[in-house]
Structure 1
Amino acid sequence: METREWYEQWNARRMKEAREAEERAQQRGQQLGRLQLAVRLCAIRLGRSLTEAETAALAERLDRLGADRVGEAMLSFSANALTAWLSDPDAT
């Protein structure tokens, strides 16, 4: 009986860890999708591809400020203002 209980506990832990790993992977996929969309929209707004530094800044802003604020900046800023916003490390 002890062996069966140990196996059931071990299997339950394994299943829980697998679910948690899947949830983390889904969250990461969603984050990546948001970043890819934001990069495309910024590129359209700027009329050019983003630099690596701008892409990194955009990823950081999405994490720190959220998709709503980044979307607001992309839609309301001129191309020059958006470029300045992406290059300012303290931008909000």
Structure 2
Amino acid sequence: MNKIFMKSINDKLIVNLTFKTVKGNVVTRRCILYNLGPHKRFKDKSQRYHFLVLKGPLYSHPVFLLPKQILKIKITDVHFNPVSYKAWKPNWFANTLWSFK
């Protein structure tokens, strides 16, 4: 999964992500992967995949998933411009070839 993750980040490709929600539902969303590491929102400091869901049921939003929640990541051939999605100052864990500027 890490190879897919890094390819998506470094090639700036959108993915179709299928994952299990906290409530146990299985959903598929079009996302941008942008980091891998702990998130300050969670006290356990577990490694989580950080995604930006481009079109959720109501709006775009970030999700922070444990590896066991991810069922499938499929890379699309659609590129994204990181600057178009900058809404916060990233605390990078993944070693990306690009950054928000």
TM range (shorter): under 0.3
Q: Which structure has the larger Rg?
A: 1
Q: Which has the higher strand share?
A: 2
Identify the structure with the greater helix proportion.
Answer: 1
Q: Structure 2-normalised TM-score?
A: 0.21
Q: Which has the higher contact order (CA 8 A, sep 6+)?
A: 2
The alignment's TM-score, normalised by the length of structure 1, stands at: 0.22
